[in-house]
Structure 1
């Protein structure tokens, strides 16, 4: 099958505009540096570049084909070199559909296919009709389940698990921090710098007003981005998969197979804990939250009351209510010492700057932060812990963004105990519970941090034993299901 006919002019227009601006900028820069290069030559180069790009897109469209079979998705593509990909359906974890405003007007969509073990998109169709995108999404899941009759699939009615409410969307927008909006600083600071010089003696007050106004602009921009991202968020359950839809300007439709979920993550910041709200994210072997093509979190619930979040989490995975074991109390002393050393380092830096520049007359004022070191150490210790239930292992970490990870034992890939040189002085260790969606030791994966080194060894072995037990139990059930049809047929 071919891409949608409108994909060719759309790709031509978007790629041509980007290429033309780049070539024109580079050409005018060279024209200013080299006298022999005139604006006319620059325009000729831009026109030649656009012609090559146009021919490239035409050949790309003509040579792109895809076929959905009963067992795989086959894609043939390539302009200079031919590339043939055969993606087994069993490896496809997520099928995501995205559409911006122009694409929605044209009736086309981008379809991304994520596979197990890949942090990036395995393949994408740019672009097909929206109806075709939804058909591919449904057909892939239907064929993975082995449903032979399409009518049987169509009889399954979706169950609405969650719809974001207006108060929740506004609250989420108000308390969310979007890192991408911090690029506005490069536009805000130069704007105020020129005005600051005109205020003379009032420069300090103007600088304070500049700081407050910049923070307000960044907060409003972050709220607008979050509002547009999670507008009309809806989570559905269709048989054995989750489907979500969201977005105001950029619309996303995604599918999350329940049997591919690796980890559930409950997240809360201090304001959420104070008001009784939380978020729930799911991780599959394709990618963890925030790594998907949507650019944001593939959240099961972006924001809801904690009770509502727990109900949905239990409907996905039936896990025990945990009683977390905190790290030993000497860990709290370690945190206090660490924060005190950070304050000492800041004081030393301020002293060095004042020594060479004289800008920080009261460089020792940073020592006042030492009174906060015991408070910070207490809260970091308080919000850490681990729990090993019968079927799931759970860990808790973080104060400003507390994360509770829930991992079924059979999803565990490896269990790793690590002891840094500083931890060994306190006889402490950290146990990482690695799944197929984990992205390394960056603090985002499930881990029991800074626990007694003996407890770490026992916890590691306990997780390994229960992992082996669950794998054996699941293998036994699979053999029983396989032999049941043979018994019936023999009778």
Structure 2
């Protein structure tokens, strides 16, 4: 299939502007005298750049093809160099659809397909029809989720469809959350967008004519009073913070306007955005960590936010995935209920760090304050920017309060099925990690922690949030307790893996036993071998009522009756074909495709 025809003029617009600007500067340099005197040369270069941009986009449109097969998503692209990609459907983590204002007017959308692996979007379709984008999102989503249910046999399909005819019926959305107007207002007012500071700097630069002193009242600049320099600096910082806050509120309102969260089968589907519309999926079976965020204003009003971390990269966040808001803002009870619907975790009862950790925080803050006072002293000695450098000493009274708040808002819990880790005062985050999602357990101890016999334990998962230091970490706990938690996490991880392995083994076992009589012998043989788990047999696990595998222990066969053997060969050809005549034939796989399935049953011969 091909891209939408409107993608050619839309992409050509941005491409021609960039190439036209490049050829414009080249024309100025290449004109006689290098001063841009020959306007004809400059205009010709700009036209050439625009034509080349349009030609490239048209060639890109003609060479781009995509196709969805039962197992892969194939894309062929490239103008200068040809590139063919095959992405397995089972590896697809998220399929996001993005639209800005102009794209919505043209009826086109960009589709971003992301997998569990690389640090960037695997496949980007720019641009397809809006209906086609929704179809791709739905088909890839259903294809990825149906892989885990592909073992359902033909005899069980009717029963399975009847059981799933409720809320999990394909195509039937269950509304879980929709943001209200008051929640959107609170979210916009009390959320600080990181990109707002850069926009505020640019806006204030243009407003002041690139002279920051014009934003400060003239009375503060001309007055000869003590501390006027600090007052002027504080005034400039206040103006900057106000501009950043206004821009942050506007960006947040535009980003989360019309936020809706629905459940479709085993996935969460979200839609949000005012100017630029985002829609994507959060696969529940690939959730790595749940994060409950509560900043200070949100805690005042009893609100919280829920973020879901998957193994991919976050849609709508500059191409980096890891965390996506399942609930941007809601009452604390609603947040907890939705989080428990994703992972049924128990009530958290966190352990705090020892009191010597609070002393460590106090000494750390005192050291930072001494460094600030030292810098202020140097500025007051050699410059006129700061005069009363010793005024920073008043912050010493804040150090004990800050150390206590940092200590009080940190904790962890080593639960039965989940690991909890909390940190942060201004923005308190509580991470909930299932044990079967833990990839590694990291024991950390710095030089300063060794002096106070403290350590930190990190439960690392496959989420990309761990790459940026946002993994679930129990900070500054006792060394003995840290070693216990490290050992316990490893043990619980193995227990949960064995439990999930037994569950999958039972599922495959019953799927194999329920095969009807109309299924061929080869399929029946494969279905019985599907229920055997090689690792489970190696670990001492048994099936079939504790008697090992289905194949009985070899015994000395009796001499068969020749006439009876001929009668069986005539009447039951299929049965004699599956019954090996010797022990060597019994252990030999019937085909290359069944070799991996039958290897796990060879160990039963030695029992």
TM-score normalised by structure 1 residue count = 0.93
- Cα shift at 1:105: 1.0
**Residues 6-29 of structure 1: CA distance to partner in whole angstroms, max 9, x if unpaired?**
111111112222333455467658
- Contact 1:196 1:206 (C-alpha < 8 Å) held by counterparts: no
What is the rounded CA distance, in whole Å, between the counterparts of 2:18 and 2:175 in structure 1? Answer: 41
What is the rounded CA distance, in whole Å, between the counterparts of 1:214 and 1:223 in structure 2? Answer: 14
Q: Quick one: structure 1 residues 406 and 200, their matched pair in 2 at CA, closer, same or farther if it must change by over 3 Å?
A: closer
Aligned residue in 1 for 2:131: 131
Aligned residue in 1 for 2:263: 237
Aligned residue in 2 for 1:363: 389
Where do 1:72-83 residues align within 5 Å? 72-83=72-83
**Residues 181-230 of structure 1: CA distance to partner in whole angstroms, max 9, x if unpaired?**
21221331463337739964443688765544433222111101100000
**1:307 aligns to what SS in structure 2?**
helix
Aligned residue in 1 for 2:328: 302
Aligned residue in 2 for 1:164: 179
**Which of the numbers 162, 175, 191 marks the counterpart of 1:176?**
191
**2:514 aligns to what SS in structure 1?**
helix
- Cα shift at 1:367: 1.1
- Cα shift at 1:174: 0.2
Aligned residue in 1 for 2:555: none
- Cα shift at 1:449: 1.0
What is the rounded CA distance, in whole Å, between the counterparts of 1:359 and 1:194 in structure 2? Answer: 15
**Residues 23-46 of structure 1: CA distance to partner in whole angstroms, max 9, x if unpaired?**
546765898994477554333332
Where do 1:85-104 residues align within 5 Å? 85-104=85-104
- 1:373 and 2:378 aligned: no
Aligned length: 491
Q: Quick one: structure 1 residues 454 and 65, their matched pair in 2 at CA, closer, same or farther if it must change by over 3 Å?
A: same
- Contact 1:117 1:437 (C-alpha < 8 Å) held by counterparts: no
Aligned residue in 2 for 1:196: 214
Where do 1:298-447 residues align within 5 Å? 298-440=324-466, 442-447=468-473
What is the rounded CA distance, in whole Å, between the counterparts of 1:395 and 1:224 in structure 2? Answer: 32
Q: Quick one: structure 1 residues 393 and 38, their matched pair in 2 at CA, closer, same or farther if it must change by over 3 Å?
A: farther
Aligned residue in 1 for 2:13: 13
- Contact 2:170 2:264 (C-alpha < 8 Å) held by counterparts: no
**Residues 56-84 of structure 1: CA distance to partner in whole angstroms, max 9, x if unpaired?**
11111111100001111000111111111
- Contact 2:313 2:320 (C-alpha < 8 Å) held by counterparts: no
Unaligned runs of 5+ in 2: 151-156, 222-227, 518-607
What is the rounded CA distance, in whole Å, between the counterparts of 1:390 and 1:350 in structure 2? Answer: 51
Q: Quick one: structure 1 residues 57 and 190, their matched pair in 2 at CA, closer, same or farther if it must change by over 3 Å?
A: closer
- The structure with the larger Rg is 2
Q: Larger relative CO (CA 8 A, sep 6+): 1 or 2? A: 1
Q: Quick one: structure 1 residues 319 and 233, their matched pair in 2 at CA, closer, same or farther if it must change by over 3 Å?
A: same
What is the rounded CA distance, in whole Å, between the counterparts of 2:42 and 2:64 in structure 1? Answer: 33
What is the rounded CA distance, in whole Å, between the counterparts of 2:60 and 2:467 in structure 1? Answer: 40
- Cα shift at 1:359: 2.9
**1:124 aligns to what SS in structure 2?**
strand
What is the rounded CA distance, in whole Å, between the counterparts of 1:16 and 1:171 in structure 2? Answer: 42
Aligned residue in 2 for 1:187: 203
- Cα shift at 1:124: 0.9
What is the rounded CA distance, in whole Å, between the counterparts of 2:183 and 2:90 in structure 1? Answer: 36
What CA RMSD, in Å, does the superposition of the two structures yield over aligned residues?
Answer: 2.7
What is the rounded CA distance, in whole Å, between the counterparts of 2:266 and 2:216 in structure 1? Answer: 65
Per residue, is there more strand in 1 or in 2? 1
- Contact 2:216 2:236 (C-alpha < 8 Å) held by counterparts: no
Aligned residue in 1 for 2:253: 227
Unaligned runs of 5+ in 1: none
Q: Quick one: structure 1 residues 114 and 2, their matched pair in 2 at CA, closer, same or farther if it must change by over 3 Å?
A: same
**2:329 aligns to what SS in structure 1?**
strand
What is the rounded CA distance, in whole Å, between the counterparts of 2:145 and 2:212 in structure 1? Answer: 64
- Contact 1:280 1:300 (C-alpha < 8 Å) held by counterparts: yes
Aligned residue in 1 for 2:499: 473
TM-score normalised by structure 2 residue count = 0.76
What is the rounded CA distance, in whole Å, between the counterparts of 1:194 and 1:409 in structure 2? Answer: 53
Where do 1:111-122 residues align within 5 Å? 111-122=111-122
- Contact 2:29 2:35 (C-alpha < 8 Å) held by counterparts: no
What is the rounded CA distance, in whole Å, between the counterparts of 2:325 and 2:86 in structure 1? Answer: 29
Q: Quick one: structure 1 residues 329 and 143, their matched pair in 2 at CA, closer, same or farther if it must change by over 3 Å?
A: same
What is the rounded CA distance, in whole Å, between the counterparts of 1:207 and 1:453 in structure 2? Answer: 45
What is the rounded CA distance, in whole Å, between the counterparts of 2:495 and 2:397 in structure 1? Answer: 49
**Residues 302-334 of structure 1: CA distance to partner in whole angstroms, max 9, x if unpaired?**
001111100110111100111111111100000
Where do 1:255-266 residues align within 5 Å? 255-266=281-292
- Contact 2:22 2:49 (C-alpha < 8 Å) held by counterparts: no
Moved more, 402-411 or 417-426: 417-426
- Contact 1:292 1:298 (C-alpha < 8 Å) held by counterparts: no
- Contact 1:30 1:37 (C-alpha < 8 Å) held by counterparts: no
What is the rounded CA distance, in whole Å, between the counterparts of 1:39 and 1:245 in structure 2? Answer: 49
**Residues 267-293 of structure 1: CA distance to partner in whole angstroms, max 9, x if unpaired?**
011111111111100011002587564
Q: Quick one: structure 1 residues 29 and 297, their matched pair in 2 at CA, closer, same or farther if it must change by over 3 Å?
A: farther
- Cα shift at 1:441: 5.9
**Residues 161-197 of structure 1: CA distance to partner in whole angstroms, max 9, x if unpaired?**
0000000001100001112121221331463337739
**Residues 90-144 of structure 1: CA distance to partner in whole angstroms, max 9, x if unpaired?**
1000010000111111111100011112331111111111111111111112222
